[in-house]
Structures are given as C-alpha cells and as structure tokens.
Structure 1
Amino acid sequence: MSSTPGAAQPARQSVHAPESERGGTPNRWVILVGGILVQLAIGAVYAWSVFSRAFQAPESAMHLSKVQAAIPFEVAIGMIFVGTFIGGRIQDRRGPRVVALVGVVLYSLGILLSSFARGADQLWILILGYGVLSGFGLGLAYIVPIAMLQKWFPDKAGLITGLAVGGFGFGAVITAPVAQGLLRANPAEPAAAFLPLGLAYLVLGVLGALTFRNPPSGYTVAGAPATKAATTGDDPAGRDFTQAEALRTPQWYLLTAILALSVTAGISLISVASATAIEVAGFTAAGAAALVGVLGLFNGAGRILWAAASDRMGKMPAFVGILAIQGLCLILIPHAGAAWMFVVLAALIYTCYGGGFGTMPSTAGQFFGVKNAGGIYGLMLIAWSIGGVAGPLITTALIGDDKNYTLAFTVIGAISLVGAAIPFITRKPARPTA
C-alpha cells in the first residue's frame, strides 16, 4: 500500500464487522461518494415547499389549505429525530450498510406511497408516506455517513462530514426544478410527481448505501493519529465514550445547546425568507422565490466551508463565528432596504446555518470519540427539532399582523449573540479510562 500522506495503511480485518461487510480495505473516496449520493437523495425532503404550493393551487384536485399542506412536512421533520436516534444506536452495533439501506428504502417507499394521493380526503396518505415513513427513513439514513466517514477520514473529519451533509443541503436545490417541471406537466394531480422522484431516490440511495462499511480494526491514515479506538475502543489515552457516558457530561448538553441556537437563528429567517424579501427589501414575488432557491446553495456550501474551516481554526472558534455572524446579520436585515444588502446578509445567515450542521458531527467525534458516534450524535440532533420548532414559532409570533420584522429578528439575533458565549466555556472532556 502507498505511504503517500493521507493514504490508508494495511490493517487486519475486524472480527467485529458484520459478515456482509468483511473483505479487503476499500477505497475510502468511493465510500465518500456513496455518502454524498445518499445525502442528495434524502435531502430532497426540503423541496416540500414546491409541492406545498402545488397542493394549494386551484387547479389541484387536492386543493389543500395552507395548514393542511404543511402537515406532511412537519411530521417528516418530527420523525427525523426518531430515525437518527434509533439508526445511530443500531449502526454502532451492526455496522452502517444495513441501517443506510433500510433508511433509503423506507424513505423512497414513503415518497412512492405519497404518489397515490389524489383528493383532499387522502391527505392521510401524504402524512403516512411523506411524513411518517419518509421522515423516519431519512433519519435512519442521515446519521450513517456522518458517523461512518469520521472513521475513514480521521485526517480531515470536519471537511469530509461537511461534504456529506453538504450533499443533504444541495438535495433540495437539485430536486426543486425537477419537481417543478413534473408538476407543470400534471397540475391537477401534483402527488403523481412523487412516483418518478421516489424511484430516482431509491436507485440513488441504494447505490450509495451499498458502498458503506466501517474501517477494519487497526485502520490508520498516514499523517493522522492512529484510529484504533475508532473500531476497538482500545486507546491508551482513554477509550471512547458510550452514549450513556456522553450524556453524563456537561459537554454533551453544551454542544446540543450550541446546535439548537444555530438552528433557531438560521431557520428564523429561512421560515419567512420569501415574505421578508418582499416586505423588507422590495422584491417581487417571483424575485423572492428565485432568491430562496439561490440561498439554498449557500446552505449547502456553508456545511462544507465551515466544516473545513473548523479543522484549521478549531471547533469552538468556528461556533463563535457561526452564532455571532448570524446574530449580527439578523439584527441588521430588517434595515436592509437595498436588495443587494439583503442578499448579502441572508446569504451569510444561510451559510452559517448550514455551517452548524457541517461542523457539529466532527466536533462530537472529537469530544466523545467516533466508536459510538452514531448514537451520541444521533441523540444530539434533538437540537434540530428544538430549533426547527422554536425559531419559526418565535419569529412568526413577534412579526405578528403588524409585520414587525425589526422586533422579531432583533430578539432572535440577540439570543444568537448571547449564545456565542457558550463555545468559550465548552472544553473537550477527559476520556473514560475504565
């Protein structure tokens, strides 16, 4: 095997690996590509807004109300945490491939089931398919590459997990225009567009998941610290944390709070981005819709950029930047009367929002080890649910009928700025020794 820096070194085969995952050491870059394929497929869930508008359109046979059209997506987001929690624990014990395959199959089946909804009386099909099945499958599949790739790339864990979750961010950007074309072809039956999309997600996700496997015992990478503990837990400096041990440390709660605050800050704008662009910066409805699509690119790019930056500047300084920049931009954005200023501030917020998701997986791995990363980080994603609910609720309540964007974003911005102090008191815990 080559001794080029960054090249995987020969290693004995893990006796703990499931039979289906045994064999020679594969190319870790192929596994990275597989992880990105899976994330692209499941990240398409964020294209729901395209379908939501179609389901409410007068020409749609379903003709849902605004509240009804939001229910399937809200259920899906709620189920994600259930999937990441269960999937993370199973992955740590059984390996990544089986969890990822089950996840992408359930996710795709939920999308395919949704394609059979035709009338308003069949909203339950969308809730069961897109909401329950796809949301749960998404959570199962989402956590797998995040935990697995840290074991394959100990030399660049931040960048690599950033690339993986960046795929999730870009999934909706790719899916939205494709879905829009399918919807224009059959506006009376918008759910029919889920059939070809579900098949595409299934093929893409299965192809990616089939590459998944954990590194063999003793796997090392030239130029990086030995990662024996990642597969065996045998580290002379202390072993990796179990999930229960991580939950007994204050650091787990501090990291979860940091992620929850980042999500709250970013999604407070994301949830009302179109209306804010129209009413604050004077965008037309069409211009605001186009802007929202473009801003999705910054969400995806931020996951990669901040993750890579955190490898260089350190994890806690990166989170100070993520929270402080979001806070300042939120406070300024209600006063951005010029379109260019609004775009710059919104792009920074989206970039930092994505950056929180891109940086936290490798941070958790650095703090608690990667042997049980699936379960530890999977449970930490409760921050996604907390922030995803709190941000929009606080924002819409404060904006109110009088459209007080200044009050809403100033409050959220101030919370984010105060939260930027948390990384200063967050230190890596000592590893367990017994």
Structure 2
Amino acid sequence: MTPPLAPPGWSRWLVPPAALSVHLSIGQAYAWSVFKPPLESALGLSGTQSALPFQLGIVMLGLSAAFGGTLVERNGPRWAMTVALCCFSSGFLVAALGAATEQYWLIVFGYGFLGGIGLGIGYISPVSTLIKWFPDRPGMATGIAIMGFGGGALIASPWSSQMLDSFGADPGGIALAFLVHGLTYAVFMTLGVLLVRVPAAAPPAADGSGAPAAPAGPQVSAKQALRTPQFWCLWLVLCMNVTAGIGILEKAAPMITDFFAETSTPVSASAAAGFVALLSAANMAGRIGWSSTSDLIGRKNVYRLYLGVGAVMYLLIAQFGDASKPLFICCALVILSFYGGGFATIPAYLKDLFGTYQVGAIHGRLLTAWSTAGVLGPLIVNWVADSQESAGKSGPGLYGLSLTIMIGLLLVGFAANELVRPVHPRHHHVPDATAPVPAPASAKDSDAAPRRTA
C-alpha cells in the first residue's frame, strides 16, 4: 500500500489532528474500569476476571506494536490507521456480542485480543510520520499525539458511565454500550485515515530558508537497533518508569481511601473518583508538557527528572503521605505526569539515538516494555497489599513495601538512563549510493541488515 504523499502546500499542522483522532479513540483503554462493576454484577465475575480484557489488551498492545512495527514502516500511516480502526472497532462489536449472549470469553477475545491489536498498531501508526514532519520539534510533535492516548479516558469514562445509566447495567445494556463505542470510534478514526499524509520530501528547515531539512544524526535499522546496548537501556528505562506509574494508577482510588481511612477526614467514594480524574489529567498534561520540555533540555535530562524526582515523590508518599492529603495528591500528580511524559518522550529519544530511518519499527519493539510493566506494576501493588492485609496491617501499612519497591525500580531506570551513549558507527545504516531512493516511509527492506562501516 503506497503511503499518501502530501501535495504541494500541505500544512504539516494537519498531521497531529489525524494522529489525535486515533489516539483519543484507543485511549478508551484507560477507562475500562467503568465496565468492571457492571460486568461483575451482570455476569457474576470476580475482580480478577473482570480485569482480563484490559490486561490482555495491554499485552497485545506491546506484542502487536513489536511485530507490526516493521509493517507500519513499510506500508505507511494510512495502512496502519486502517488496521487499527478495523481491529479496535471490531473488538467492541465482538465484545457486544459476548455481553448480549453472556459469553464472557467473547468479551475477552474481542476487547482484549482484537482490540489490543488495534491498540498497538494504532499507538505507533503516527510516530515516525510526525517525526518526519517535525524534525525540529520531535518531542512536541509526538507529545501532541500521544497526549490523546492519555486523555482518551477523560472522554470515554463519563461517556461510558452515561450510556450504562441510560441503557442499563444488565447484559443487554452493556452490549449496547459496547456497540455504540465500536461504531462511534470507527467513524472518528476514519477522519484520521483520510487526513494523514507523509511528506513528499524532507520538510523545510527550521531556519526559513526553504531548503529541505537533512536527516540529523545516525540512521539505524530496527533489526540492528536490537543489537545495541542503547535499545536495551531504554527498554529498562521505559519499563521501570511505566511500572512505577501504572502501579499507582491502577490502584489509585482504593489507595487514597486506605491512606486516610483511619484519619478524622476519610476520603469518600466520589472524592476518590475525582482523584482518579485528576490523575488522568496529569497523565495527559505530562505527555505534551514534559515531551515539549525535552526539546529544550534534552531527552537524557528529562528522564533524569522522571526517574530521580519520581523516586523522591514515592519516598514522600511512603514517609509522610498519610499526614497530608495535599502532599499525597501533589506527589501522585507529579508521578502520573512523569508516567505520561515518559511515553511521549521515548519516540524522540529513539529518534536522537537511531535516526528517523525505521524509528516507528524500533518504537514498536520497545513497547514490549509497556506490556511487561502493565503486568508487573499492578501485580506488585495488589500482591503486596493483599499479603500485608493477610498479615493484619491496614491503611498506609498496606502499601509501604510496594512503594519501597517502586523507588528501587525507578533507581534502576535512572542507572540505565545514565548508561545511554551515542550509538557506535558500526551499527549505522549506510544506504547504497547507486540505488534509487525509495519513497518516504516505504522502507522496502525494513529488516534488511545494514551495511557497516569499516
């Protein structure tokens, strides 16, 4: 499938809205918790069972991004967005059938497996295209798009709740809500499919001269990137940062309730829900704010902030969180802003190290760190809380050990970030000067081994 080339005079500022239409849709994944109580009540599920679609979706996100990244680079963003649209929307339709027939395995298969593939392909679909359009501000460009994934829940959560109130929380009502989701997101994501374009040539240089901006830095293939220590250092950095963030995000409402349950001002259920909404806003704001900051202070420095200051925030919660609600909330908001910022900054970090040649495919492979963290973070927090409760502890005592573990993980990520160095020239891709230049983003031989310098 030939990528759609931009005609003369096409504004590059039309590309971020195309990316946002996809990311705002697939960002619904963060609002899955809205469906958990109705499903548990209607189908007689446990809390662990009702979490399966979300967990499988995150696992499939990482796997599909890793295995599909090369195809995204080869076929371009329109192909990728079309695949994401079909998988994500059809996942809701299959889940609707599962709810209507009370076959929970169909909900898991539809939302988790099919929808998860749509999540992964959709997540990476605009990354390399945005970086090609905005070589002067890659952090800001990817932050705008990936901000949508963090903000999708702010739309989906109240919308889903309203539908369940209107349609009912029985199997039929849940099925109808899934059906409306699938059809609406199909229409919304189609806007991105129709709008997206790749540059016919390198975008103009930022100096206003009108000359094309030459690719800066090294150019490394996806296959060769896996052989570099830089890739695996960044894999650790992303995994540790996401594990720390998703651990508090997944347990946010019960955590703040437990921390202040034994005080004179306990947290109500509605206040806990408001706290979750604040965390989602911080997650979204961090994606654009911190990724744009990375264009000014550098990727390595901003990850020092995410990991180092993040560890300090966790320490403050562990030591003084139950003494002050404002302190607890502020620290949690900072942690979640770093969580979102880490997602949005990593494509630009990859571009700095490996170039734009196959950055989408490299990004896809790196997202396996997200799959790992999506299982690891909630497992640590929930398992520790359950074990501490069995030991007779309550309140903040349920989380002391897990918070300490998170601090340790962030320090591991900090050390991995410090080990990142420029990629050795032996890994650089050297194009054949006698071969015809391929069309942008087509990357015909995306996994071909690069020629090495002597």
Task: Give the TM-score of the pair, scaled to structure 2.
Answer: 0.85
On the 8 A contact 1:103/1:141 being kept in 2, the answer is yes
| Alpha-carbon shift at residue 220 of structure 1 (Å) | 2.9
1:184-226 Cα shifts (integer Å, max 9, x gaps): 1112232321111111111111111222232123433333995
> Which stretch of structure 1 is more off in the superposition, 386-395 or 145-154?
386-395
**Match 2:162 to one of 162, 172, 181:** 181
Contact 1:151 1:227 in 2 (8 A): no
Aligned residues, how many?
Answer: 408
Looking at structure 1, the residues matched to 94 and 377 of structure 2 have their Cα atoms a distance apart, in angstroms, of 31
1:361 alignment partner in structure 2: 347
Task: Give CA-to-partner distance per residue, 1:259-310, whole Å, 9 cap, x none.
Answer: 0110111112112111110011331222112211221010011111110111
Distance 1:351 1:380 in 2: 20
Determine whether 1:205 maps to 2:189: yes
Name the CA distance, whole Å, in 1 between partners of 2:132 and 2:146: 16
Q: Which aligned pairs between 1:260-279 and structure 2 lie closer than 5 A?
A: 260-279=239-258
Counterpart check, 1:54 vs 2:57: no
Residue number among 304, 315, 319 corresponding to 2:303 in the alignment: 319
**Residue matched to 2:434:** none
Match of 1:43 among 7, 27, 34: 27
8 Å Cα contact 2:6-2:198 kept in structure 1: no
Identify which of 218, 221, 227 aligns with 1:242. Answer: 221
Tell me the amino acid that sits aligned with residue 408 of structure 2: A
Query: Which residue of the partner structure matches residue 58 of structure 2?
Result: 77
CA distance in 2, matches of 1:24, 1:200: 32
Aligned to 2:444: none
> Which stretch shifts more, 138-147 or 173-182?
138-147
CA distance in 1, matches of 2:240, 2:377: 9
Aligned: 1:376 with 2:357: no
Distance in 1 (CA, whole Å) between partners of 2:65 and 2:194 is 19
Map Cα deviations across residues 150-174 of structure 1 (whole Å, 9 max, x no partner). Answer: 1100111001101110011000111
- Secondary structure of the 1:115 match is helix
Q: Give how far 1:313 is off.
A: 0.7
Is the Cα–Cα contact under 8 Å of residues 159 and 307 in structure 1 kept in the other structure?
Answer: yes
Matching of residues 82-161 of structure 1 within 5 Å: 82-118=63-99, 121-161=102-142
**Counterpart in 1 of 2:321?**
336
Q: Specify the SS of the correspondent of 2:103.
A: helix
Secondary structure of 1:187's counterpart equals coil
Corresponding residue for 2:274?
Answer: 290
**Higher mean displacement: 122-131 or 109-118:** 109-118
* DSSP-derived class of the 2:99 partner: coil
Residue among 331, 346, 371 paired with 1:345: 331
- Map 1:16-31; keep pairs closer than 5 Å: 18=2, 20-21=4-5, 23-24=7-8, 26-31=10-15
Q: Which runs of 5+ in 1 are unaligned?
A: 1-16, 230-234
Instruction: Work out whether residues 315 and 407 of structure 2, in 8 Å CA contact, stay in contact via their aligned partners in 1.
Output: yes
Shift of 1:73: 1.2
Q: CA deviation at 1:90?
A: 0.9
Cα 1:218–1:165, aligned 2, differ >3 Å: closer, same or farther? closer
- When structure 1 is superposed on structure 2, of 410-419 and 77-86 the one drifting more is 410-419
2:435 paired residue number: none
State whether residues 144 and 287 of structure 2, in contact with CA within 8 Å, keep that contact through their aligned partners in structure 1: yes
TM-score calculated relative to the size of structure 1 = 0.89
Amino acid at match of 2:130: L
Is the CA contact (8 Å cut-off) linking 2:282 and 2:336 kept in structure 1? Answer: yes
Deviation at 1:369, TM superposition (A): 0.8
Conserved in 2, the CA contact under 8 Å of 1:87 and 1:141?
A: no
CA deviations over 1:16-36 (Å, ceiling 9, x no partner):
x92754644521111111111
Tell me whether 1:391 sits opposite 2:377 in the alignment.
yes
> Aligned equivalents of 2:367 and 2:145: distance in 1?
16
Match of 1:63 among 44, 47, 63: 44
- Secondary structure of the residue that 1:421 maps to in structure 2? helix
SS of residue in 2 equivalent to 1:26: coil
Q: Can you list the C-alpha shifts for 1:68-119, whole angstroms capped at 9, x where unaligned?
A: 2111111111111122123321121121111111111210111122122336
What's the % identity of the aligned pairs? 34
